[in-house]
Structure 1
Amino acid sequence: MTVTRICLVRHGETDWNAERRLQGQLDIPLNGNGRQQADRLAAALKRAAHPFAALYSSDLQRAASTAAPIAQQLGLAVTALPALRERHFGALQGVTLADGPQQQPHAWHGYSQREPAHDLGGGESLLAFSARVRHALARLAVEHLGQSILLVSHGGVLDMAYRLASGQPLTAQRAVPIPNAALNWLGVDAAQWSIIEWADQRHLAQTLDEL
């Protein structure tokens, strides 16, 4: 059987991550820590010498800015892929997790209860979001059959990818951590998805000199 390996990376940290504020598809930049995470990640990938055939990124700047030093270190072009964007959180975009229940109670109920068809007040339902991510990953797996590829995206996208490979339902609360700038590996073989490794952060504890 021919196995395609997909390495997924959540973008580096932003100020809104630190504030626990829902970003969705608002275009928020990396903060200083996020830029350092991106540089450490790029150096670690160069040292590991994974034979990536291609590098894709969400077109939102926090992902694109994470992908840029990787592209430079690995000598790969970045292909922007809007299908890798974060979920659109509708009325909750820009709202902190602490303020959501009071500021947007209807949308918050749909979000917190993980109602699959709820669009969060003009956003994207879990059903639509999951279908978008699943379609994008399946297409890339076919286009890069038997190769290894690197995708820089967002926490929600990685959550959908984990659910695809593990069979976890959309209605269940997130089961695994999804740290900024960690490495997460999936495999796909004849349309059968599997989790190879998840949330590898070892490179983030090292300095650039150590890498």
Structure 2
Amino acid sequence: MKTELILLRHGETEWNAKGLLQGHQDSPLSPEGVRQADALAARLVTVSFSALYCSDLGRAVQTASRIAARTGHDVRPDARLRERGLGVLEGLTREEASRRHPEVFGAYATNAPDFVVPGGESTSQRLGHAVECLGEVGTRHAGERVVVVMHGGVLSSFFRHSLGIPPATPRAFSVLNACWNQFDYHQGAFRLVTWGDITHLQELSADDSSAR
């Protein structure tokens, strides 16, 4: 039996809005991010699912908690779903990172999967944790639908992994805040069903326009 995994990126954070690299450091959701999380919650109220998992970083927990407040599910945090640790680059804009740590940022920008940021980790290390966790969730909830709140970087890596795209390939797709992505898990493999769905956010914008 296949497991349907709905993988969500957390809502926009204050650091997202400022263009700061987050990694394992944290920032609360911005007012827009709260609205995005609530839009996800409103959509999920109409969907039957068995469990709600999330990264243990605050921005993912905050997003998941706003969903849980509407759907009644317990939030199940797991550190393996964290964003990639960016070590010395965390808290900096890309421009600041390239100026203060030019060699590190240059290597980071190449998407080399095994490059370990000083004080952080590599893309392949973080992806391995996420794949392990999602595989366990898929097996535990065989035949069910599960929601997981994650991060943009690890979602990007997981997308490439699932489609067999070389990890260093330049990204030609978006991973928007509060986007909705579906993968099916069956016999140890992940299959992409839906990527980058933001219809719930577009409906939110339409509602705002009609209220003005």
Alpha-carbon distance between aligned partners in 1 of 2:96 and 2:205, rounded to the nearest angstrom: 37
Does 2:42 correspond to 1:43? yes
Task: For residue 192 of structure 1, report the CA deviation from its aligned partner.
Answer: 2.5
What is the TM-score normalised by the length of structure 2?
0.92
Distance 1:205 1:12 in 2: 14
Structure holding more helix per residue: 2
2:48 is the counterpart of 1:66: no
- In structure 1, runs of 5+ residues without a counterpart are none
Offset from partner CA, 1:89-136 (integer Å, 9 cap, x none): 111111111222111112102211122222111211122112111111
**Alpha-carbon separation, structure 2, partners of 1:207 and 1:179:** 15
Tell me how large the CA RMSD over aligned residues is: 1.7
Q: Percent identity?
A: 36
1:15 aligned residue: 14
CA offsets, 1:146-201, max 9 Å, x none?
Answer: 11100011101211221222111211122321111111000122123211001111
- SS of 1:102's partner is helix
Q: Confirm whether residue 124 of structure 1 aligns to residue 118 of structure 2.
A: no
CA contact (8 A) 1:11 1:181 kept: yes
Change over 3 Å in CA distance of 1:108–1:209 after alignment to 2: closer
Q: 1:174 aligns with which of 159, 171, 176?
A: 171
Gaps of 5+ in 2: 208-212
Contact 2:4 2:146 in 1 (8 A): yes
> 2-side partners of 1:139 and 1:128: how far apart?
17
State the TM-score, normalized to the length of structure 1. Answer: 0.93
1:133–1:160 contact (8 Å) kept in structure 2: no
Q: What does 1:52-63 correspond to in 2, within 5 Å? A: 52-63=49-60
How far is 1:208 from its partner? Answer: 9.2
Runs of 4+ in 1 over 4 A off after TM superposition: none
Q: Could you tell me which of 76, 91, 105 is aligned with 2:102? A: 105
Query: In structure 1, how many angstroms separate the alpha carbons of the residues matched to 2:124 and 2:67?
Result: 32
Given that 2:13 and 2:28 are in contact with CA atoms closer than 8 Å, whether structure 1 keeps it comes out as yes
SS at match of 1:91: helix
Aligned pairs, number? 208
Q: 1:192 aligns with which of 184, 189, 204?
A: 189
* Residue 32 (structure 2) aligns with: 33
Work out whether residues 123 and 157 of structure 2, in 8 Å CA contact, stay in contact via their aligned partners in 1. Answer: no
Change (3 A) 1:169 1:209: closer
Deviation at 1:76, TM superposition (A): 0.6
Cα separation, 2, equivalents of 1:132 and 1:175: 24
Matched position secondary structure for 2:95: coil
